[in-house]
A and B are shown apart, each in its own frame.
Chain A
Amino acid sequence: MLIMAGGAAVSPLVFQLAIFVLAIFVGYYVVWSVTPALHTPLMAVTNAISSVIIVGALIAVAAGTQGGSQISTWTGVVAVALCAVNIFGGFLVTQRMLAMYKKKER
């Protein structure tokens, strides 16, 4: 799986690396614009979205049940469960916190 750029072959790893570096910059600017009052919800929600690693866990289950190692099946299932705790717990607790922030009634 090679990608052509300017006639020469570039490994997909380089493209992934480019996306990674750009995403760090996006993260940098977006996070600096977060109001300090919402830093706790920020941590809760980043925790929830980092559980997107569940993608890897699901691939592990698929790999294990389709001829891969049994170890992959079970590490995958446990990882899916751990990520699910985080996804549901993280987003719901963030939602609960954000619902509490109210403006002054005038």
Chain B
Amino acid sequence: MFQLSANTAAVLYTVSAVLFILALRGLSSPETSRRGNTYGMVGIAIAIVTTVLVAGLGGKGLLLAGGGLAVGGTIGAVIARKIPMTDMPQLVAAFHSLVGLAAVLVALAAFFSPGSFGILDADGAIKAGSLVELSLGAGIGAITFTGSLIAFAKLNGNMSGSPIMLPARHLINIALGVGFFFLVGMLMSTGGSEPWMMWALIGITLILGFTLIIPIGGADMPVVVSMLNSYSGWAAAALGFTLGNLALIITGALVGSSGAILSYIMCKAMNRSFISVILGGFGGDAGSAAAGDQPERPVKRGSAEDAAFIMKNASKVIIVPGYGLAVAQAQHAIREMVDKLKEEGVDVSYAIHPVAGRMPGHMNVLLAEANVPYDEVFELEDINSEFANTDVAFVIGANDVTNPAAKTDPTSPIAGMPILDVDKAATVLFVKRSLSPGYAGIDNDLFYRDNTMMLLADAKKMVEEIIKAL
């Protein structure tokens, strides 16, 4: 079979890495993004074909690899077609777990066939440097694998979103971490001749992924998903060094920094430090207990007819959607309501907080799905000054991201978090199932204000009733 030279292969791998950079670059605007995605697909196709040619897969190898590709590809294509947009966070978490597991498997393969991977030294032992890379690739991959499984279970509702606090969890994590580095040292000193060390290393990091993520509450999942995204990149990069493969090294670095930046943006939007998110425990029962001792305060409740009347007579309305919108699947109903309002001559736009939803940009996708034009949807910093000259802020399924306590109460768990200033609007309509506190477990002062009208009902039903009343 035709065999590619190593140099030609390296050039082709570089081409595919450049295509990946262009794929990410395309995402700077929705218009260029679709072309970017095509670049990405071409890039991965080039990488696969190049590898098949340079590795000289024989008949049996081609058959096996082709079979794996066909089975996996079919499953992936079916999932991509069927998945509802509301489930994107758990889908992404599930996909991360697969990258993590693949990294572990590739590291194992290299460990058991070091000769074919060209990582043996003159004495027939595995090179020390390669052992470090393999250990890092396998270890980070294993953490990504189990960590993403937990994130998936929490996002998908298979597991409670509240943090699970093991006793002495920091000690356990530190012990596991030390155990990992100890095993890396042992592997290096034995030249990788003892396979049990590699298995133990993978076992330890699998447990570590689990213990790292279970204490992190559901409200912090946007950070966790971004962080695991980053880890999957670093695992790929580590193995790229073992294989001496430029496509893997460059892609790993791109994905690693992308995930890290997203985690940073998410932390900043919650005014939390990355460390405090990782240590976990946020969003537990402490907050709701504190809210419980307050006396019951009067709230102004309204009906769908009241809401319809107020909005019809407004000249400017801003819709503030949150995760509750996704849960109630109300995105299409909202769009219909907005269409009716526009017919009445009302100026309507949407305001999105960076941590609304369960992953970065989740609300934007849901609104896009409901055919809301993206130029009517604004980010926090672009629209926040508009609330002061807005007649109605229509908050649906969002809570903590509008809570004025973030500004006024320095003892609040969300103190300092940037919020959408809906309280500056002349009237606030708040669609919510009940008066219970939000995901962070904090009471919202906004409910009790004079200019707030609570619309207590299921988001979708309420919006449908408003549409009828318009």
Contacts and interface: CB of A to CB of B under 8 A. Distances in A.
B345 interface: no
Shortest 7 CB-CB contacts between residues of A and residues of B:
A84-B72, A68-B113, A39-B361, A63-B116, A89-B76, A60-B109, A88-B76
Interface string B6-33: 0000000100110011011101111001
B92 interface: yes
Interface in B283-337: none
B73 A85 contact: yes
B93 to A, nearest CB: 10
A40 B68 contact: no
Contacts of A44: 88, 92, 95
Interface in A60-95: 60-69, 71-73, 75-95
A77 B28 contact: no
B80 A88 contact: yes
Interface stretch (B177-185, B231-239, B396-404, B435-443): B231-239
9 contacts: A36-B379, A39-B265, A43-B361, A54-B44, A56-B248, A57-B102, A63-B109, A84-B75, A91-B40
Given A16-B249, A42-B262, A80 B72 contact: yes
B37 interface: yes
B123 interface: no
B72 A100 contact: no
Contacts of A49: 20, 23, 40, 43-44, 251, 254-255
Contacts, number: 400
Contacts of B117: 59, 63
Contacts of B256: 24, 27
Interface string B43-81: 110011001100111101100110111111111110111
Given A36-B379, A73-B64, A55 B245 contact: yes
A31 interface: yes
Would you call the interface of chain B mostly helix, strand, loop, or mixed?
helix
Interface of A: 12-13, 16, 19-21, 23-24, 26-28, 30-69, 71-73, 75-105
B110 interface: yes
Given A23-B250, A84-B73, A78 B105 contact: yes
Nearest to A57: B106
A16 to B, nearest CB: 6
Contact of A38 (B30, B98, B232): B30
A46 B250 contact: no
Contacts of A42: 24, 27, 258, 262, 360-361
Contacts of B72: 80-88
B25 to A, nearest CB: 5
B176 interface: no
Given A56-B239, A56-B248, A98 B34 contact: yes
A93 B365 CA distance: 12
Nearest to A21: B253
Most buried by A among B34, B58, B98, B109: B109
B88 A40 contact: yes
Given A26-B254, A37-B30, A47-B229, A57 B105 contact: yes
A41 B350 CA distance: 20
B273 to A, nearest CB: 20
Contact of A53 (B68, B239, B261, B354): B239
B326 to A, nearest CB: 12
Given A40-B360, A86-B99, A55 B248 contact: yes
Most buried by B among A63, A67, A96: A63
Nearest to A102: B373
B187 interface: no
B243 interface: yes
